[in-house]
Amino acid sequence: MFIHMLELNTTPILSAPVPASTTMLLRDAPGGVEVLMLKRSQASAVLGGVYVFPGGKVDAADRAPARLESLEESAESLLLRSGQGGLAADEAAAFFVAAQRETREECGVHVPLAQLVAWSRWTTPVLSSFMKRRFDTLFFAAEMPKGQQALHDDHEAVASDWLAPREALRRYWALEIDMAPVQVMSLVDLSRFSSVDHALSVGRGRPAPHIHPEPFEEDAVRVLAYPGDPRHSIAQRMLPGPTRLRNLNQRFEPVEGGFEGFFVNLD
C-alpha cells in the first residue's frame, strides 16, 4: 500500500544551494529507453521514501586538487563539457567526480567520466517544494555500462527499478510511488527518446539548461513555473513538457490535460 510521505514546505530556505550531482543511467529495452530509479531509505534526511536517480552532494574530496589532477580528463575539458558558464574549472570537474562516485556508491555501477553527458542543471528555489535544504544539482545522463549490474546498497537506497519514463510517471500518477518535481520533469524529458543513442546525442549537442523553478501560490495551491511560462522570469522555454506544475492530489501535476498533460510540447 502506498503511503504519501512528502509534506509541502512552507518555510523559505535562506542558505546557499549545496552543489550536488545526479546520474540518469539509461539502457535500451524492447519498449524504448529505460532509466534506473532508486527508492531512498525512509530514514534519509533528504527525500526519504522517494524514487530518485543515483546521486548526492559534492564532497570536499571530489574537488581536492590531488583528485582532480589524477583524472584522465582535464578540469578545463570537463568545464567545457558541462556547458555551464560561470563555473570555475575545478567546480565543474567536481560535479563529474561526484556523479561518478555517487553512482558507484549507491548502485555499484562505475561510469567512466568520458561517458557522463551533462543533461540539465537545477537550482532549488528559496521556497523549496519538499526539502529543507537547497541544492545546485548537475544532472548527467549515461548509458549503463555493459557487463555491470546495478544493485541498490540497502542503506541509502532500499529498492531499485529499471523503468520506462512514461511507466514511472504512470506509477507516480497512480500514487504508487513518490517523486519530487525535478524527477518528474526529467522523466518527461526522457520520454521523448526511443533509444539511448538518440538521447545522448541530443545531450551532447546542446549546453545543459540551468533551470530555476519559480514557485507561486494560486487559489491557495502551490504552483511551480518553469522557463517559458508567463509567470516565469525567463520567457524562453528550456524544457519539453508543461511549463508549470501544481500541487494537487498529493502530487505535482500538469495544470491542464491530466496525465497526458505531461507529454505536451515534446518536440
Judge contact between 38 and 107, C-beta under 8 A. Answer: yes
Nearest to 225 by CA among 209, 208, 241: 241
- Sequence letter at residue 133: R
Using only the alpha carbons of the chain, give its radius of gyration.
Answer: 18
Percent pLDDT > 90 in the chain is 84
> Quick check: is 13 in a domain?
no
Give the separation between CA 200 and CA 183, rounded to whole angstroms.
Answer: 18
Cβ atoms 100, 110 nearer than 8 A? yes
In a domain? residue 220: yes
Residue 12 in domain: no
Its pTM stands at: 0.94
In a domain, 194, yes or no: yes
Q: Residue 11: inside a domain, yes or no?
A: no
What are the CA-CA distances from residue 117 to residues 3, 27, 140, 174, 227 (Å)?
A: 34, 14, 5, 31, 22
Residue 147 scores a pLDDT above 70: yes
38 belongs to a structural domain: yes
Per-residue pLDDT at 43: 58
Residue 47: the pLDDT is 63
Considering only CA atoms, which of 135, 133, 108 is closest in space to residue 122? Answer: 135
End-to-end CA distance of the chain: 36
Tens digit of each residue's pLDDT (9 = 90 or more) over 82-122: 999 999 999 999 999 999 999 999 999 999 999 999 999 99
- The band of 45, judged by pLDDT with boundaries at 50, 70 and 90, is low
CA angle 259, 262, 263 (to 5 degrees): 110
Residues of the domain holding 80: 18-263
Q: What is the pLDDT of residues 205-264, one digit of tens each?
A: 999 999 999 999 999 999 999 999 999 999 999 999 999 999 998 899 999 999 999 999
Q: Are 34 and 152 in contact (CB under 8 A)?
A: no
237 domain-assigned = yes
C-alpha to C-alpha distance for 64 and 66, rounded to whole angstroms? 6
Mean pLDDT of the chain: 93
Q: How many domains does the chain have?
A: 1
CATH number of the domain that residue 41 is part of:
3.90.79.10
Q: Cα(151)–Cα(267) distance, rounded to whole angstroms?
A: 34
Q: Is 60 exceeded by the pLDDT of residue 184?
A: yes
Q: Which residues of 101-121 are buried (b: 16+ CB within 10 A; e: fewer)?
A: bbbeebbebebebeebbbbbb
Statement: residue 1 has pLDDT above 60? no
| Among the listed residues 248, 244, 247, the one whose alpha carbon sits nearest the alpha carbon of residue 261 | 244
Query: Is 5 among the domain residues?
Result: no
pLDDT reading at 48 higher than 70: no
- Is residue 32's pLDDT more than 50? yes
